[in-house]
Amino acid sequence: MRIKDRMTNFPTASISTVIQLIIDDTRVFREVAELGNELAHLGNQLIGAETKARIGIIFDWDNYWALEYTSGPTVDLYYVDQIQRYYETLYHNQVAVDIIPVDADFEQYDMILAPVLYMVKKGTAEKLEQFVAKGGTFLTSFMSGIVDQSDNVHLGGYPGPLRKLLGIWVEEIDALAPEKRNTVEFGSRDCNKPSYECSMLCDLLHLEGAEAIAEYKSDFYKGMPAVTKNSFGKGEAWYLATLPEKEMLQEIIDHLLKEKNIVGFGVQPEGIEITSRVKDGKEFIFVMNHTDEAQTVANSFVGYEDILSSAEGTEELLLEPFGVRIYTK
């Protein structure tokens, strides 16, 4: 029945009644009412639940500002873009990750990623050394260890205070023209491809205890290390001397995940996100469809129950547009 027909049937209705009839017919009202019903059904089950991430990505605001306002070596280098690239490699596998400051407790993680850690503040290198020595995996990249907390250049060669941990000395930082590409080759290492493209910046570095995992294949730095790994105590410190293409970075991160036995929810269709939270030892798995089309989720949820509908999980889930399931055992 249309609104005006309702009003005709209730000619003596009050203004508030008419307004309520109109509100009841709106999309926003229906969606808010549905949300209210879901929240009432959930109660306090999820209050206090936490994501248990084993990986941290360092994001430092001082580092951000210092790198953004540095005079070189290229205007195409943006801190947030680099952080995003690494985050996406983990999101690709639906692996939980924390974005952490430099003064975070590193001991709760198995792996720490810190791309373009341009500013290394007092005490940070020592914290990272302790983390790796105890068995952690650390990865950083070009333009790291350049300045201190006062934006003064670290003396003694790059990557400054990270030099001992990474086992390398960077002789030169070469900026490539926007259209220029180089090639990185992994040699005999078991990789999806023997070589990949790199761009933007290429460090010329020398090994000081680290192992060359991949090398440049052209220009005047042909044969020089492009990816290195340094054993430090019980752990490893990795360095990417250039900006790798997406597939190369994904392969490196996938290798590290496998080494640390970190398993996510696997590659999903575009727009599907799966994450979990834990409360009092009980895991809640959130499955979300961020698209306006139905999507098939490959993961099996047999043995689980959707706490929103009380329906049992299935081997294959067809998730409606913008649909959500919250599974638990």
In the predicted model, is pLDDT for residue 104 greater than 50?
yes
pLDDT digits (tens, 9 = 90+) for 27-49: 888 888 888 888 888 889 999 99
Instruction: Dump the DSSP string for 127-154.
Output: HHHHHHHTT-EEEEESS-S-B-TTSPBP
Integer Cα distance of 170 and 159 in angstroms:
6
198, 207 in Cβ contact below 8 A? no
pLDDT for 150 equals: 95
42, 325 in Cβ contact below 8 A? no
291, 56 in Cβ contact below 8 A? no
Burial class from Cβ neighbours inside 10 Å (0-12, 13-18, 19+) for residue 7 reads middle
Confidence at 209, pLDDT banded by 50, 70, 90:
very high
Amino acid (1-letter code) at residue 275: T
More confident residue, 237 or 188: 237
- Fold category of 272-328 in CATH: Immunoglobulin-like (2.60.40)
Give the start-to-end residue ranges of the domains of the chain.
Answer: 3-42, 55-259, 272-328
In the predicted model, is pLDDT for residue 13 greater than 90?
no
pLDDT for 256 equals: 97
Confidence at 145, pLDDT banded by 50, 70, 90:
very high
pLDDT for 234 equals: 98
In this structure, which CATH number among 3.60.21.10, 3.40.1110.10, 3.40.50.880, 2.70.70.10 belongs to the domain 55-259? 3.40.50.880
Radius of gyration in angstroms for the set of CA atoms belonging to the chain, rounded to a whole number:
26
pLDDT digits (tens, 9 = 90+) for 53-96: 999 999 999 999 999 988 889 999 999 999 999 999 999 999 99
- Predicted structure pTM score: 0.88
DSSP one-letter code for 184: E
In the predicted model, is pLDDT for residue 116 greater than 60?
yes
